[in-house]
Amino acid sequence: MAASLEGFFERHSLLLAPMAGVSDEAFRALCREQGADLTYTEMVSAKGLSYANEKTRRLLRLAPGEDQVAVQLFGHEPAVMASQAAWVEQEMGASLAYLDINMGCPARKIVTKGDGSALMKDPALAADIVRAVAAAVEHPVTVKFRRGWAEGDETCVEFARRMEDAGAAAAAVHGRFALQMYRGRADWGAIARVKEAVGIPVVGNGDVKRGADACALVAQTGCDAVMIARGAQGNPWVFAQCKAALAGEAEPAAPSAAERVAMARRHARLLAQREGRNIVRMRKHAMWYMAGLPGASAARGRINSCVSVADFDAVFDSLLAHLG
């Protein structure tokens, strides 16, 4: 049986969520600098790993300055999930914090294959996956899931109990239904109900955008750790703000426009160093960094044409000139 995570979240209370196409090495490095205690890889296809897909395997690389990372796998075949979890454990050794199983992604291309949050519709299969992975590895196995599949049909409490019984060492709960996608507000009450129902650590996820939100989430749910996803996009400073607030200290001031542009430049350079031509994925990050700044709307079209660090620098220079 896989190991427990008792005491782990006392030292790692702020987590960067796994986000496909977002939680790249560059972004993880910047979030760690700002106070994230642990980051997750982008979700990794167990099937892709089983084919020795090099693009998939690259998702397992550590970010600069990252000593440990949680690896999130997705898939729906217990044997494949177990064998690839064992391979990840062997490859990563001490740099692996734990293995997480994605049962929360609501993206159509994921759920139509029976992966991600589609597993919430089949708790027996979900439990079989956890049981198989936990039996195959020595590291802890965790699960990330949502309030339920269909809006209005909350199943997370019973689902969490089944995952715990199957060997999950912790559960991360997003307070929205799968079919809700990211609409409306996350219901933190669902996280609180899961926390009451299980004996394993519970990570709260959903709508944390500043330090006060992190404090409110912990106060309302009793969760053991706070996971931040969209609140960190273009805003790695949210971790410094949350860390201060959770410690009872004043939150650092929001970054200035110049600081936001400087961070975006660093992000672009880190991406270029590690990803080469994949610098184009910086486009979405650049838009997030500049959101709300005067001139950002006009710059959006130029950003979508950027293919190099120099291209991004030219846009950032123009924005700063516009800001005066």
Active site residues: 105
Q: What are phi and psi of 175, to 5 degrees?
A: -80, 30
Count other C-beta atoms under 10 Å from residue 93's C-beta: 8
CA 96 to chain centre: 15
Sign of CA dihedral 24, 216, 168, 147: negative
Return the SS3 of 148.
strand
| 256-to-126, 133, 194 alpha-carbon distances in Å | 45, 45, 39
HEC-encoded secondary structure of 160-191 = HHHHHHHCCCEEEEEEEEHHHCCCCCCCHHHH
- Is there a contact between 11 and 37 (Cβ–Cβ < 8 Å)? yes
Which residue reads 């996608």 in tokens?
Answer: 181
Count other C-beta atoms under 10 Å from residue 67's C-beta: 11
State how far the Cα of 44 lies from the Cα of 53, in Å rounded to an integer.
11
- Report the phi/psi class of residue 167: left, alpha or beta, with left for phi > 0 and alpha for psi in -120 to 50: left
